[in-house]
Amino acid sequence: MIFGYLNYLVTKMLKRRMENGNKIAKQADNGSIPTDHWDEKTFEDKKMHMNNIFQGKDFDGNWHAGSLTILHCYLCSLERGEPLKKGHYISSELGVPFAYYVRPETVRQGVRLPDRFGNEMFDGDITELEVEGEKRRFVVRIGTVVRDIECDPPFSEEIERASITGVYFEWEGKKLFPLVDKHDVPDNERMVIIGNVWDNPELLQDI
């Protein structure tokens, strides 16, 4: 009886810690934490800890980040105390008891690129970048783009077609790769995440 109660308290404490962590992460993603919070060291630390995690939105409208598990059949979980139904789950290192059942169409992967404040970009994020005094909005995507590229002279002096799979940014029907300015700063590190295609579809009007 005592051990059962202690297990309940520990489980409740871990769940509360996880919820607080998700709340802080959500504040960071939404930009509600002051921008001066992200000093240079914090920015570099955040870049080092990007682990290609996934995000998914549950049926109550809350976002969760962690590992992705897809169940193709019902699974009995002794830890959780209830069966897990088929579908997509996002969980942290705490395991099955803290797996969140999410809507499959909202599942997205981190792309290991930071924005201006060190926040990791995810597929489907909407970003904003100032170009020649004009603010432009982009959608972060993962996919394959075919490009004509200039080959390295030792191999060929011609322009060849190449299939490149990776991260690109959608803008006015174009699929763009981040450029690097004269200070070797890529476009993504000058962008700011302002929303995503699920929560902020109204932002897509300017893209």
Condensed to tens digits (0 to 9), the pLDDT of residues 42-89 reads: 444 444 444 558 999 999 999 999 989 888 876 665 555 567 788 999
pLDDT digits (tens, 9 = 90+) for 127-169: 999 988 899 999 999 999 999 988 777 666 688 889 999 999 9
Q: What is the pLDDT of residue 157?
A: 67
**Is 100 exposed, middle or buried, given 0-12, 13-18 or 19+ CB atoms closer than 10 A?**
buried
Q: Is the pLDDT of residue 34 over 80?
A: no
> Between residues 192 and 151, which one has the greater pLDDT?
192
Query: What span, in angstroms and rounded, lies between the C-alpha atoms of 55 and 26?
Result: 11
pLDDT digits (tens, 9 = 90+) for 91-127: 876 665 568 999 999 999 999 999 999 999 999 999 9
Query: What span, in angstroms and rounded, lies between the C-alpha atoms of 90 and 111?
Result: 17
Query: What span, in angstroms and rounded, lies between the C-alpha atoms of 123 and 138?
Result: 11
